[in-house]
Every structure is written in C-alpha cells, then in structure tokens.
C-alpha cells in the first residue's frame, strides 16, 4: 500500500494559480490527480505514467488541458499539480492516487485505484 498525503489547497481568485503537492511513500508507475466537487463524481484530471524504461508521459482530461501541469520529483516521492488560470468550476476536493500499473488504459476511472490520500480542498472565487 502506498501512503499519500496531499497539501497546498486553499482559496484563490478566478484567474489565479495554485500548486498542489502529494507526498507519497513511493513513486509508482501511475500517479494521478483526481477531483470531486459536491454532488459530482470523482474524475481524473491529470496523470503521469512512468515505468522507468521510457520517458514519463503526462495525461490530461480535456477540461484542464493547457491550464493544469502535472509533474513529479521521483527522488523525493512528491507529485505536483500546478493549476493556472483557475475557474470557479475548478473548485473541488483534490486527491492523488497511485497504481503500480501504467496509466493507460483507464487512468480516469477512480475504481481502478486502491491507494488514495485524504484530499486537499481548492476553492476558486469570482
């Protein structure tokens, strides 16, 4: 089991930026950021897939492409999510998840992942 602890959430005005962090007990082949807004399903927004044999591949949901950037510090086992040009619909609890399999296919499905953090809240105001 991989232990995951998210941090960096908070309140930000629309159009601003925020960087979330996820401290992991290990770096796995697939590390994903999910988010869940009240009354909505949890959705995968960004993933980084890296088994060490090939360059890491970053994957994004269409709704966040161009605004979100996922990265990782493998030496420190930290996953990041940079959120730029924030919008009110970015408001949600953000979670990181880990899997030892590569991300594709199915990285956006929360049911695939067993290891989760407790989440960090992002609130975007107008």
Instruction: Name every residue whose Cβ is closer than 8 Å to that of residue 79 and which is 6 or more positions away in sequence.
Output: 21, 22, 24, 27, 31, 33, 48, 70, 71, 72, 96
For 64-92, how does the pLDDT look when each residue is reduced to its tens digit (9 = 90+)? Answer: 999 999 999 999 999 999 999 999 999 99
For 36-55, how does the pLDDT look when each residue is reduced to its tens digit (9 = 90+)? Answer: 999 999 999 999 998 878 88
**Does the pLDDT value for residue 63 go beyond 90?**
yes
* pLDDT computed for residue 51 by the predictor: 80
Say if residues 77 and 60 touch (Cβ distance below 8 Å). Answer: no
% pLDDT > 70, the chain: 100
* pLDDT computed for residue 83 by the predictor: 98
Say if residues 24 and 96 touch (Cβ distance below 8 Å). Answer: yes
Identify the bridge partners of residue 121 per DSSP, sorted by sequence position. 93
**Does the pLDDT value for residue 12 go beyond 90?**
yes
Say if residues 6 and 20 touch (Cβ distance below 8 Å). Answer: yes
Read off the tokens for 67.
Answer: 């605004």
Average pLDDT, integer, range 107-114:
95
Pick from 3, 1, 10, 5: nearest CA to 83: 10
At which residue do the structure tokens 């991300």 appear?
A: 103
Pick from 10, 17, 37: nearest CA to 86: 17
Q: Which of the four pLDDT bands, split at 50, 70 and 90, describes residue 2? A: very high
């Amino acid at each position: 089991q991989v232990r995951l602890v998210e941090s960096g959430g908070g309140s930000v005005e629309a159009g601003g930026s925020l960087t979330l962090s996820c401290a992991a007990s290990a770096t796995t082949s697939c590390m994903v950021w999910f988010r869940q807004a009240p009354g909505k399903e949890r959705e995968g927004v960004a993933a980084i897939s890296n088994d060490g044999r090939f360059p890491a591949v970053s994957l994004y949901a269409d709704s966040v492409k161009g605004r979100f950037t996922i990265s990782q510090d493998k030496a420190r086992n930290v996953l990041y999510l940079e959120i730029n040009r924030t919008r009110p619909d970015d408001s949600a609890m953000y979670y990181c998840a880990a899997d030892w399999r590569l991300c594709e296919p199915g990285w956006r499905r929360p049911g695939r992942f067993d290891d989760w953090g407790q989440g960090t809240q992002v609130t975007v105001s107008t």
